[in-house]
Structure 1
Amino acid sequence: MSSTGVLFAPPNYFRAQRVEIAAAYSGFKLTKAKYEPGKTDSTLVKKGFPAGCLPAFESGKEQLFEANAIAQFVANEQLRGGSGNSANVAQFANWSDATFVPPMTAWVLPCLGVTRPDAGQIEAAKAQVAAGLKFLDSYLATRTYLVGERITLADVAVACDLLPLFQHAMGPEQRRPYANVSRWFNTLVNQPEFKRILGEVKLADKAGEFSQARYDQLRQQSGGKKDDKKQAKKEEPKKKEAAPKKEEPKKEATATAADESEKKKEDKDPFAKLPVGTFNMDEFKRVYSNQDIKTVAIPYFWQNFDPEHYSLWYCEYLYPEDLRLLFMSSNLIGGMFQRLERMHKHAFGSMVVFGENNKSTISGLWFWRGQGLAFELSEDLQVDYESYSWRKLDPKSDEAKKLVEAYFLHDEGDFGDKKFARGKIFK
């Protein structure tokens, strides 16, 4: 295996920093290619990399994308965890990316002035980060490092995911409940190998806040118009006042256990009251995941789609002027998917980022059980959907057939003059 390679990534990209730190530990000779927004991305696609996957890496004939895979390639045996702990190392790296990265972007980007704040998304992000840190703090109570007695890629990956949160969003008061995490984090960032890449890490001295001036400055630098709105926050829908509860006669003590069981089931599954229909969502997802999409999965969908009990929807992100780097737009979708966990059994969606850095849009195609907007079935599904326009499609129309084919095929779909950049499938 070659001990030299080239890394493609934007400057100071937190996903690439774990690769650079791993190379600093192992002695791997890593060269950073000059990153030019749009141009570098196009060059990587021509080289055979998936669209929008950064960081990317070349070493001889070897081509890799995604940070954890590249970090493992450039690391030494100790960082990988050795033969006995490699699975534990991968476990923490993957868990951290799923737990901290989506909410981190929703919380940190407004603090940097990159996007406008969305109160609902930020509160959901804070809750998810807190849950992750609570687990991590408990786990580190009796440990110096995450896996074994020495630093591994598990520590490197999790620390790099937390770095933007600790530097830009979480002040001392918000970090204080996680003393074990803070002790572990400070130990890592003061290691020579970390310092070589990150420099002196300065943590936030107060909770991060949105700056309208900073937001306008960044928009002007990227060619956008100054935001004349005095209020930075998007107008939030007025909360419906709870109707006064009617006096109801006390329930008879004869309420059955079956009634209580049914109520709990409905609380757990917001789709429980909807007719089941004939479409087998699990079987469709197996076909989509394992068979050729164009010749098998799409015909299967149309042959089995149940328009009486399922509906097709097209959506577009309402604030494209807020979108900056492509990976941030992709993370926005990832965060939305995580918060829609309870829809997995009943819905399928394809979301796509089009365009290039500082000039992109997001749209998608969904179908789910029921004829109305699925998000209105439960409050915990409503964090993100109001940031999109939603249009119900007629499954018999030519438009629906074209959209299904394009969005199901994803990066191989025909989107007309729209340039596919990144995409995610909800299944």
Structure 2
Amino acid sequence: AQYSGARLKVLHVPAFQGDDGFCLFESNAIAHYLSNEALRGSSPQTQSQVLQWVSFADAEIIPPASTWVFPTLGIMQFNKQATEQAKEEVKKVLSVLNHHLNTRTFLVGERVSLADISVACSMIWLFKQVLEPSFRQPFPNVTRWFQTCVNQPQFKTVLGEVKLCDKMAQFDPKKFSDMQPKKDTPPKKDTPPKKEKAGKEAGKPQEKKDKKKKEEKEAAPAEEEMDECEAALASEPKTKDPFAHLPKSAFVMDEFKRKYSNEDTLTVAVPHFWEHFDKEGYSIWYGEYKFPEELTMTFMSCNLIMGMFQRLDKLRKNGFASVILFGGNNDSSISGIWIFRGQDLAFTLSDDWQIDYESYAWRKLDPDSDETKTMVKEYFAWEGEFKHVGKPFSQGKCFK
């Protein structure tokens, strides 16, 4: 809007409504509508090039940037393996941009276009949080282009000063903990203020009440120790626990997940998994998305996977999955390894878990077979031959 001259009143809502009642959602569609010909491109060729870079920002920059940056901001849990892979993906992105910008000032044409706006805005937090001087040193063209963009008056009006980071930000567990929603009991409704003239003695009954409340709170600290998954399950009647009919297992899912998140996958997490896996209490499944022909843009496929994970949040204590999107735009597939408590598909145990699972073909794996051990290793480590897939992993994206 700063470039095109469109008058815009921002209400901090991710949607657009024009004076004529015309409505849009999704930031790319809104940005396209608010642009002028100079930003969108004046020919079919330049318009396509602009769209190319807008799609590149969504599909190739935002996913790894979010995985790397969000933990440093305290809004997402840190995963060492995911972060290291995100760093490598960001390097590939910077290499592509650096090569393209070797003989160009801007991404498309000779002046700022919607391509520069979309790509630069998708990289703001990378430059502000983690792209320290030594990391960005091999990509001088990208840094030059980014600084040229964010120092344009139209950028500065919206973003203010954008300072490049001096030191790569790291995950802070305390900051992450502080950012999580507190599980305190809701505050009571406002009550009239106490009258001060009641004197010193009037405070004694209240002191007794406060002491009693403190004793009750100390007597039951476990409730505040629950994570979101446990609290959600605890809020339901015990009879509705989908796994109540199963005996306890010696395999501790949380212990494995800590190994997987914080230590090396191949040398620590995978050996730990097989050493402690309880094949009587848990089962291993291979799931493959049944409609690959419907998969178009990779960022939309990523949203498909993450949406399924979010709807399965209550399954976290009794399940684990590593799912990979193979291939690229308009030529991709989704598959993964899933670990469930019990010998049946866990989705059938709760109506809340059945929204997505029928879109996948499921095959139960034999935990003693070499095929299963290879698949578990490859899907857990996000590397390998993946002979059964038929699409390159080099363009893949992973979720767990």
Q: TM-score, length-normalised on structure 2?
A: 0.54
Shift of 1:338: 4.0
* Aligned partner letter, 2:138: P
Contact 2:336–2:379 (Cα < 8 Å) also in 1: no
Cα deviation per residue 1:341-367 (whole Å; 9 max; x = unaligned)?
799457599xxxxxxxxxxx9985252
Return the letter of the residue paired with 1:316. L
Q: Residues of 1 paired with 2:148 and 2:295: CA distance?
A: 46
The aligned counterpart of 2:380 is 382
Q: Within 5 Å, which residues of 2 pair with 1:221-370?
A: 234-236=258-260, 238-240=268-270, 281=290, 316-317=312-313, 338=325, 344-345=332-333, 347=335, 364-365=356-357, 367-368=360-361, 370=363
Per the alignment, do residues 383 and 314 of structure 1 end up closer, same or farther by CA in structure 2, a change over 3 Å counting?
farther
Alignment check: 8 A CA contact 2:132 2:166 kept: yes
Matched, 1:143 2:136: no
Query: Contact 1:376–1:382 (CA<8 Å) still a contact in 2?
Result: no
Q: CA deviation at 1:234?
A: 3.4
Paired position in structure 2 for 1:66 = 26
**C-alpha distance in 1 between matches for 2:54 and 2:17:** 22
In the other structure, the counterpart of 1:371 is 364
Distance 1:126 1:207, change over 3 A: same
Show the counterpart of 1:29: 7
In structure 2, do the counterparts of structure 1 residues 178 and 193 end up closer, same or farther at CA, with 3 Å as the change threshold?
same
- Which residue is equivalent to 1:400? none
Structure 1 residues 116 and 61: alpha-carbon distance in aligned structure 2, compared to 1, 3 A threshold: same
Q: Deviations over 1:216-242 (max 9, x none)?
A: 2212568696899xx9x933262456x
Q: Name the residue aligned to 1:164.
A: 125
Distance 1:58 1:32, change over 3 A: same
**Residue-by-residue CA offset, 1:344-395 (whole Å, 9 max, x unaligned):** 457599xxxxxxxxxxx998525236433989626553368xxxxxxxxxxx
Matched, 1:123 2:116: no
CA spacing shift, 1:137–1:380, aligned 2, 3 Å: farther
In 2, the alpha carbon distance for the partners of 1:92 and 1:83 equals: 16
Asked whether the equivalents of residues 124 and 383 of structure 1 are also in contact (C-alpha less than 8 Å), the reply is no
Question: Where does residue 56 of structure 1 map in the other structure?
Answer: 15
The alignment partner of 2:135 has SS state of: helix
- 8 Å CA contact 2:324–2:336 kept in 1: the answer is no
Residues 191-202 of structure 1 correspond to what in structure 2 (within 5 A)? 191-202=152-163
CA shift in 2, pair 1:223/1:123, >3 Å: farther
Aligned equivalent of 1:212: 173
| Fraction of identical pairs, as percent | 32
Distance 1:314 1:194 in 2: 34
> How far apart are the structure 2 equivalents of 1:145 and 1:286?
35
Q: CA deviation at 1:118?
A: 0.6
In structure 2, the CA distance between the partners of 1:320 and 1:371, relative to structure 1 (3 Å rule), is closer
Structure 1 position 320, deviation (Å): 7.8
Query: Letter of the aligned partner of 1:367 in structure 2?
Result: Y
Q: Check conservation: 1:101, 1:161, Cα contact below 8 A.
A: yes
Q: 1:69 to 1:192 in 2, by over 3 A?
A: same
Structure 1's unaligned 5+ residue stretches are: 1-22, 36-54, 242-273, 290-312, 322-332, 350-360, 385-425
What is the SS of the residue equivalent to 2:8? strand
Does the 8 Å CA contact 2:94/2:142 hold for their aligned counterparts? yes
How far 1:83 sits from its partner (Å)?
2.1
Match of 1:79 in 2: 39
What is the alpha-carbon distance in structure 2 between the residues aligned to residue 145 and residue 288 of structure 1? 31
Residue aligning to 1:133:
94
Map Cα deviations across residues 148-200 of structure 1 (whole Å, 9 max, x no partner): 11110000000011111111122221111111000000000000000000000
**In the aligned structure 1, how far is the partner of 2:294 from the partner of 2:103?**
46
Match of 1:100 among 53, 61, 73: 61
CA contact (8 A) 1:346 1:369 kept: no
Counterparts of 1:30 and 1:141, CA distance in 2: 35
Tell me which amino acid in the other structure corresponds to 2:5: G
Higher relative contact order (CA 8 A, sep 6+): 1
- Does structure 2 conserve the Cα–Cα contact (< 8 Å) formed by 1:88 and 1:147? yes
Would you say the 8 A contact 2:292–2:332 is kept in 1? no
| SS of corresponding position for 2:51 | helix
Residues 97-132 of structure 1 deviation map (CA, whole Å, 9 limit, x = unaligned):
100111111111110111220111111211111111
- The alignment's TM-score, normalised by the length of structure 1, stands at 0.51
| Whole-angstrom CA distance in 1 between matches of 2:148 and 2:355 | 43
C-alpha distance 376-169 of structure 1, shift in aligned 2 (>3 A): farther
State the Cα deviation string for residues 53-90 of structure 1 (Å, max 9, x = none): xx321112321111111111101110111124111101
Q: 1:190 and 2:168 equivalent? A: no
| Structure 1 residues 113 and 77: CA distance shift in structure 2, 3 A | same
Structure 2 distance, partners of 1:212, 1:68, is: 34
SS of the residue 1:177 aligns to = coil
2:75 aligned to 99, 102, 114, which one? 114
Aligned-partner Cα distance in 2 for 1:383–1:132: 22
**1:25, distance to aligned residue in structure 2 (A):** 0.8
Q: Which residue of 2 aligns with 1:409?
A: none
Contact (CA 8 Å) 1:340, 1:381: kept in 2 or not?
no
Give me the CA root mean square deviation. Answer: 4.4
Unpaired runs of at least 5, structure 2: 186-223, 228-254, 272-285, 297-308, 338-352, 367-371, 383-398
Corresponding residue SS for 2:47: helix
Q: 1:192/1:314 Cα in 2 relative to 1: closer, same or farther (>3 Å)?
A: closer
Any idea what SS the aligned residue of 2:361 has? strand
